[in-house]
Chain A
Amino acid sequence: MKKIEAVIKPFKLSDVKDKLMGLGAHGMTVTEVKGLGRQKGHPELYRGAEYTIDFVPKTKLEVVVAEDQVEKMAEAIISAAHTGQMGDGKIFVTPVEETIRIRTKELGREAV
């Protein structure tokens, strides 16, 4: 099993979710985050004084899938979250040692 972590533009969340569910994902976890990447911050003015918005709002989506699903899930995220502009986000894939469903105590693939 692998965990796919995608940091995306918040307004793309709905598209990404629809694509993943369409491909058979059983669930996902979403967090509102702020981040700083190559997009960098941008200067703004408040009451005439300058300040920088360094960390811009992003959405982090986590989904755990079977290894053979990783590629098509990642491609789905890319196609749904892509705008071509700076700040589209990143995808990280990490191995997951175990998954347990609390209600039934099922393990591994059955629990995802």
Chain B
Amino acid sequence: MKKLFVLFSMIVLLATASFADAPPPAAPAGEAPASAAPSMAQEEPKPDPAGLATGDKKDAVDAAGNAFVVAEPTDKTAPDYAQKKKDFDDYQGQATKEPLAVKLADTVGHVRIATNVAWTLNTGYLVLFMQAGFALLTVGLVRKKNAAHLMMLNFAAYVFAFIAYYAVGFAFQFGAVAVNAAPTNLGGTPTLNHFLLGSGLWGFLGGKGFFLSGPAYDAGSHVFALFEVVFMETAGYIIVGAICERITFWSFLLCEIFIGAILYPTFGCWVWGGGWLSQLGNTMGLGHGYVDFAGSTVVHAVGGFAAMAISIVLGPRLGKFGPGGKVRAFPAHNLVYVVTGTFILLFGWMGFNPGSTLGATDLRIGVVAINTNLAAVSGSATALLFWYWKFGKPDITMACNGMLAGLVAITAPCAFVSPTSAFIIGILAGLVVCLGVLFNDHVTKIDDPCGAISVHGFGGLLGGICLGLFADGTYGAGWNGVGATTYLGQAGRGVTGLLYGDTKQFLVQLMGAAICAAWAFGATFIVFKAVNAVKPMRVSKEVELEGLDVPQFGLPGYPEDAPSPLGS
């Protein structure tokens, strides 16, 4: 099985390489599709690998999002046709009189896109660094005899999930993003415009951009791809915290490929790729459709519930539950790593949430950044004080879990809520993670060494639901194509939660969060229950007791345990 798996992986890698060697699509840089005449609009848009045609006067907008260029109205029967036609004629007149202004607008538009590209790439790099934080956090939380195992899992998660996402995941998730959810801050990626499953407002899976080639070989698309692949990686490494200390390496690689290629991109398409959940506002009048700003559910709950499914398939670590279900502690072996890792994750989250505007020209980033921090500290304080009160001593690892739960829960609502709400969301998350850890230990008996299910699964669901409660309508006008001019009878009103008068938004948030948990848990459980039936995914009892480091990877984790002769 192991040999077969390695062989299969190599075939995939070779196929990938040969695909990448194919000549790139012809896209003469000088031929700017952006300046095409309206009559050419029917033609398939061309990718722009050099970025020379991305960002022109059409991208020049003011702070409120009003465009410099006024488009010619086409629908002569529209009630406001006369006004729009007059605006267009005025613009044309001005443009003829002031050609230099039009030229300058080209520069302004390009600089706007370039600013957003710089922002998005750099916040993406911050998210990438979360990988290091997670490696430290999880290795610190387990027993010393499994340190090399944890390092390898965190490392391989990045590598193999990345390859899966590059091959098919990105295309499944964003292959049709231009249809309903074009990232206009980055130039719109007009070439990613085809659903593989579904169409129009009922898209289920994207269908362009496999191997990031062809229509995806585009400067703007690649900025987007970099930012999105590191988000997928987050879902990928979340599972490590729940399934470690007992899983075989080959089956872990299967888990990562499954998450990067199928599990994550599918739900991601439904919410961020312009898929059906995001369009429920347009199709069924449910608020702004399902909204998740930076991924409480899309990223964290998907990872958390996949982790729960695999943890159940594997079963608890030997000795975790004694006779009569008595819970045994396997204390963390390095709290210094746990706290350092948690702060690296907090730092990385400053890319995760504010970066999800995909642009620094969206000044809401200030609110997003402060909300993210507030939920982190209130979540941490709540978990710390709860444990202090209940057990007499504050537990450092639970304080860290509380900070991460606050971060996870604020990730969906961060752009739509006030700082007060963010603080409250953090408190709720701190309670949820404490109760979640106790619930899994004492009721479900699901063994979760690092608290990943409680932090990311339960915390993620809470985040999706809290958006439907606390969104105050100050941000997100026109989100998912709903209420661009007015919403709930108010011009400029954005995504609004139950507490501010939009019951339907709350309902669609409940529904979306439930679908997320059902999809992530259900699909993962079915797939890996089957895999486990073919060949057990768990290491032998002897290996588990000895620690996985030497039997699985040939080396212990720490220098003091290095097998070389003493003193050499």
Contacts and interface: CB of A to CB of B under 8 A. Distances in A.
A46 B327 CA distance: 11
Interface in A41-93: 45-51
B395 A49 contact: no
Contacts of A46: 329-332, 395, 397
A47 B328 contact: no
B313 interface: no
B522 to A, nearest CB: 28
A47 B398 contact: yes
Nearest to B434: A48
A51 B332 CA distance: 12
B391 interface: yes
B393 A47 contact: no
B345 interface: no
Contacts of B544: none
B197 interface: no
Interface string A18-61: 00000000000000000000000000011111110000000000
Contacts of A45: 329, 391-393, 395
Contacts, number: 34
A48 B390 CA distance: 9
A38 to B, nearest CB: 24
Contacts of A49: 327-329, 441
A43 B384 CA distance: 20
Contacts of B392: 45
B488 interface: no
Nearest to A53: B331
A51 B441 CA distance: 15
Contacts of B393: 45
A45 B391 CA distance: 8
Interface in B398-422: 398
Most buried by A among B331, B387, B451: B331
B438 interface: yes
B437 interface: yes
Interface string B373-393: 000000000000001001111
Contacts of A50: 329
Nearest to B451: A47
Nearest to B328: A49
A101 to B, nearest CB: 20
B455 to A, nearest CB: 12
A37 B330 CA distance: 23
A29 B194 CA distance: 74
A64 B262 CA distance: 68
Contacts of B451: 47
A32 B387 CA distance: 32
Contacts of A51: 328-329, 331
A48 B332 contact: no
A98 B451 CA distance: 57
B337 to A, nearest CB: 16
B331 A48 contact: no
Contacts of B331: 46, 51
A48 B328 contact: no
B145 to A, nearest CB: 16
Interface in B25-58: none
A106 B487 CA distance: 96
B439 to A, nearest CB: 11
A20 to B, nearest CB: 27
A50 B441 CA distance: 12
Interface string B520-535: 0000000000000000
Contacts of A47: 329, 395, 397-398, 437, 441, 451
A46 to B, nearest CB: 4
A51 B328 CA distance: 7
Most buried by B among A49, A50, A51: A49
A84 to B, nearest CB: 26
A43 to B, nearest CB: 10
Contacts of B330: 46
A45 B395 CA distance: 8
A48 B397 CA distance: 11
Nearest to B327: A49
Interface in B328-343: 328-332
Interface in B85-116: none
5 contacts: A46-B330, A47-B397, A48-B327, A48-B390, A48-B438
Closest 5 CB pairs of A and B: A49-B329, A46-B329, A51-B329, A49-B327, A46-B331
Interface of A: 45-51
Given A46-B330, A49-B441, A50-B329, 12 more contacts: A45-B392, A45-B393, A45-B395, A46-B332, A46-B397, A47-B395, A47-B451, A48-B390, A48-B391, A48-B441, A49-B327, A49-B329
